[in-house]
Amino acid sequence: MASKYGNPRGKAATDAKRKYNSKNYDRIYPYVKKGKKSVYQRAAKASGFDSINDMIESLKAALCVQRLNACLPNVAWCEVTGMLFKNNAKIGAKYFPDELGVLKAGAAADIIVMDYKPYTPFSDENIDGHILFGMTGKLCRTTIANGKLLMKDRELIGIDEEAENAHILEAAKKLWGALNHREY
């Protein structure tokens, strides 16, 4: 079945896209041309990024990848921050019942407090730049999820880390299975 944009949809289309992408691309979020993965990883590492797995580092890597791909140093600013802060909430809304991406009563408000000292003016107008160029995931000091304090001063609170990791793995298998029409 075609979507309103004319793109094929459904399991067969997903399988065909997966087959095409695995043949022609290496996976690092986002897909990159075969043989380019190590180039982008080296570029990210050379730029001082420890990892491309934490969300903030993934945001930085996505910016690098888009700029390298376009061969332009000034592209993708709004696109990469939009992917993280807007599109993730839209995608999550398809799979989770609570309102996401907003801070208001009744929403699934997940909040982090960063140990970050800005050396330039900091506001809602330039927070993207501070996140991209000043913060790393390691600066997360406190985490509140759904109104519950989970980490304070970098110490997990009331959590059996091993049991939680096992639970997360099983939940991720189910979610990715539903997203990719397969069993993990």
pLDDT in tens, 54-99: 788 888 888 988 888 888 888 888 888 888 888 888 888 888 888 8
- Residue 114: pLDDT over 90: yes
From the centroid of its chain, how far is CA 18? Answer: 20
Predicted pLDDT of residue 28 = 55
DSSP structure class, residue 37:
H
Instruction: Round to whole Å and give the CA distance between 14 and 32.
Output: 18
Residue 34 has pLDDT above 80, yes or no: no
- pLDDT averaged over every residue in the chain: 81
3-state secondary structure of 147: coil
Residue pair 144/110 in contact by the 8 Å Cβ criterion:
yes
Angle at 148 between CA 87 and CA 93, to 5 degrees: 25
Compute the average pLDDT of residues 35-52.
Answer: 63
Q: Between β-strands 148-152 and 155-156, what pairing exists: parallel, antiparallel or unpaired?
A: antiparallel
> Does residue 167 contact residue 5 with C-beta atoms inside 8 Å?
no
pTM comes to 0.55
Whether the Cβ atoms of residue 27 and residue 33 lie closer than 8 Å to each other: no
State residue 116's pLDDT score. 94
Residue 162: strand pairing partners: none
**Cα–Cα distance, 70 to 58 (Å, whole number):** 18
What mean pLDDT is predicted for residues 102-121?
Answer: 88
Which residue is associated with the tokens 């996505």? Answer: 62
Q: Which percentage of the chain shows pLDDT scores above 70?
A: 82
- Measure the CA–CA gap between 184 and 138, rounded to whole angstroms: 30
